[in-house]
Chains A and B, each alone.
Chain A
C-alpha cells in the first residue's frame, strides 16, 4: 500500500513517471510467487489509472510502512532525507535534493523526502510549502510518536536530530546526520555510494 502512496506524492509527475518508478518495484517482486505478481499487477494498474487523480495527496505513514521502503531489495540506490518545514537547515538543503531528483532521473537512484511535519499541518503548511518552493520530489510524512523505537532502525548512528540522510542499496547503508553544503556536496555523497561496487 505504501508504494501506491509514494507515487501519489509527486505532484505534476506524468503517468509514465509513475510507471517507470513502478517498474523498479516490479523488478523487486519478479522473483516472488504468483500471488505477489498478481498483487503487483493490481497496484501497477491502479496507479497507472488512478495515480493522476490522487496527485497532490501526501501519504502519512507510520514507521512500519516507511520501513518497507528502507528494505527494498533492488539494485536502486534509495536516498531518504528526513526533514521538516520548520527545520531551517533542512529547508536550506532541500533544493539540493530537488536537483538530485532531477539529475538522477535516468539512473537507478531514487530520492524520497521524509517529512516530520505534524500530520495535522500537512494541508495548511506542508502542501503550500512544497508548492512555493517548487519541490516535486516524492514526499511522505512520517507520523509515529515513539521515535525511540524506530530511530535506530533507520540507522544506529542517528541521534534523532534533523536533518538526516540515509542512502541504501539492498543491505548496504550510508548515513549522515546534519546538512549538505551544496548540490555538489550532495551529488558527491550520492556518487560515492552509488558508484562503488
Chain B
C-alpha cells in the first residue's frame, strides 16, 4: 500500500466518521447492476429509524421503495444522471411506519454512490400550513366583514380614536348621508362634523364613546334624512380598545322608523279604544275562565267605588255579588259553554236592575281564553217600563170599566124604561076598565119601584165613577147606625111588600174604617134581597159579629135572605169585574151594577165580600151575603 493509498483510506475513514457523527440522517446507496443497494447509514439515521435500519443494510432500492416509486425515480436520476436532487416530501418510514415531512437531498458521489440526506421539516411544514390557514381565515374574515358591512340594513360607521371616519357602509350613505352618496365624501372626515349627527345634537354623546363609554340610545329622532322624511333610530356605539387604550369606535344606527310608525299607530288606536272604553257608561269587565278580573273599565270601577288595581286579580262574583260562587245563570259562564253571546237580567241587593251580556273571547287558534262582561244599569228603564205597564193597565181598566158601566147602565136603564113605558100603557088601558082596578094599584107600585130602581142605578154609576177616580177618604163608622139607615131606605122603597128584617148583634156598636158609601153598599144588598124574592113575606136576617182573619180583627156582617138564591155556577160570576166576562152576561137584570158597586166599595175599605147559600147545598132557599171589614183599632 502506498502512502497515497494510505492517505486515501485515512480520508475515507475520516469521512465515514464525519458522516456518522452528523446529526442529519444520512443513507448511502451504491449502484449494483441495475439496482441500488443500501450500504451505510449514520447514527442520526439509526435514531430516526429506532435502530431498525440495521436490518435493511444490503436491501435493494427496488425492494425497499416498491411502494414509493417517486423515491426510486429520484435515486436512479441521481446516480444515472450524476446530479444532485433536492425534494421536500411527506415520507412514510418503512422501518417504523411513521409519517413525517422531510427535506431529502440526493447527492451523487462518484463513481457509483448516492448519499441521501434527510431533514425532518414536519414542524416547519405544520407552521407553514398553520400560517396559510390563518391567512385564509383572515381573508375570509375580511370578506365576511365587508359583506356584512356593506349589506347590513343598519348604518355602520367605523372611526379611529380621533373620530376620523375609517369606513362607512352603503346603508348609511343611502339613509343618513344627507344626500351625499359617495363613501369618499366621508372617509377621512370627523364623525362629529357629520351633518346628520350634528343636526340630531349627538356630537357630544359620540365624543364620550371615544372616551371609552359605550352608547345606547333608543328611539332617537333624526329630523331630516336623505329620503326627505324624518326618522327614528336606535343608536349603539362601542369603543374599540387595544391594551386598554381606545383606538376607535363603531357606531350603528338602526332604522326603526317603520316600527316606530306602527307603534305610534297602535298606540293611538289603543288610546282611542281606551278612551272609548273608559268613557262608556256600561261596565266592561274582561275576565279569565275562572272569572278573575283582568281588566275593568272606569264605569265598572266606579260602580263599586274602587280603582282598577283594586279589582284586578279578584273574582268577578266576589266584587259585585259578594259571593264565593259563580252567579247563578251568569251569562259569561254560559257563554263559555255555548261559545256564543249570552244575556241575563239581575237585581242586586241594593234594588238596582242590571242587564248583563256575556261574550266569549276566543284567540286566533280557536281557544277560549276568557270572557267579557258588559253590564248596563236599567233600573230607571225598568221603573219607567213598570210605570208604563201600570199606567196601561190602569187605562185599560178604566176603559173597560167605562165600557162596563156604560153597558150595564144602558141595559138596566132600558129595562127600567121598558117597565115604566109598559106600565103607563097598561095603566091607560086598565083605568077605563072597572074590573082592572086591582091591577091598576099593582101597576102604580111597579112604576114607583122602577123609579126607585132608576134612582139607585144612577146613584151606583155616580158612586162607581167616584171610586174609580178618587182615593177614598176613610173614617170611623159605626155599622149599626149605617144599617138602620139602609133598612129604612129599603122599607120605603117597597111599601107594599111584607119585609121582615131582623138584626142580631152581640154588641151595641161595631166600628169599622169606611165612609158614607157603606150605606149605599148595604142598600144594594137589601134592595136585591127584596126585589129578587117571590115569597109573600120577605125575610132578611142581618148578623153582626167580630172575628179574626189572618191575625187581624174584623167585623163580619151577614145578609141572609129567603130570596130566589144564587146558583153555584153564578156565585163565581156575580162579583166578576172583568168587562169581557160581562159581555157573556148571565146575571139577573138589575143586579150587575149594584153588586159590582158593592164589591168595589167594600174593597176600597180593605174588606171583602162573598156569597154563600142560606142553607148549604140548596141555593133556592136563599142567599147569605157576607161582608168582612177591618175593625177600627
Partners in one complex: no
B residues lining the A interface (CB < 8 Å): none
